[in-house]
C-alpha cells in the first residue's frame, strides 16, 4: 500500500515542471531563433527553386523540346490509327452475337458483383 501512495505522490510531483525565474526570456529567445531559422530556410528554398526553374526553362528552350513533342505526337497518331483500322473488322463481329435478355441479366449481375468488390475494398482501406 505504501508503494502505491509513493507512486501517486511521485506522479503529482513530476506532473508539472517547476517554474524558472527566466522562463519568459528563455521562451522569447527560442522563438526568435526559430523564426530567424525559418526565414533563412524560406529564402534558401525560394532561391533554389528560382535557380532550378531558370535552369529547367533554359534546358527546355535549348533542347528544341516543342519540336520533339510534335514529332512524337505525329508518330503516336499514326500508331493509333493503324490499331483502330486493325480492330474495326473484329468489332463488327460483335454485332452478330445474340443480345437477348439473358445477356442483359448476366451483365447486370456482373455489374452488381463488381460494385460489391469495390465496396468491400473501400471498407478494407478505411
- For 71-123, how does the pLDDT look when each residue is reduced to its tens digit (9 = 90+)? 777 777 777 887 777 777 766 666 666 666 777 788 889 999 999 999 988 88
- This prediction's pTM: 0.33
Q: Which three cell numbers stand for residue 114?
A: 463488381
Q: Which three cell numbers stand for residue 49?
A: 527553386
Tell me the C-alpha distance between 83 and 66, whole Å.
26
What is the torsion angle, in degrees rounded to the nearest 10, for the CA atoms of residue 85, residue 90, residue 96 and residue 102?
-120
- The single residue listed with the C-alpha cell 535557380 is 51
Q: Which three cell numbers stand for residue 26?
A: 528563455
Amino acid at each position: 500500500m505504501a508503494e502505491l501512495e509513493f507512486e501517486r505522490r511521485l506522479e503529482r510531483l513530476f506532473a508539472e515542471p517547476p517554474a524558472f525565474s527566466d522562463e519568459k526570456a528563455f521562451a522569447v529567445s527560442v522563438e526568435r531563433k526559430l523564426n530567424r531559422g525559418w526565414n533563412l530556410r524560406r529564402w534558401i528554398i525560394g532561391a533554389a527553386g528560382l535557380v532550378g526553374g531558370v535552369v529547367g526553362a533554359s534546358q527546355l528552350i535549348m533542347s528544341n523540346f516543342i519540336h520533339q513533342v510534335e514529332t512524337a505526337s505525329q508518330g503516336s497518331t499514326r500508331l493509333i490509327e493503324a490499331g483502330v483500322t486493325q480492330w474495326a473488322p473484329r468489332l463488327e463481329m460483335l454485332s452478330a452475337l445474340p443480345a437477348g435478355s439473358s445477356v442483359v441479366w448476366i451483365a447486370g449481375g456482373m455489374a452488381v458483383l463488381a460494385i460489391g468488390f469495390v465496396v468491400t475494398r473501400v471498407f478494407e482501406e478505411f
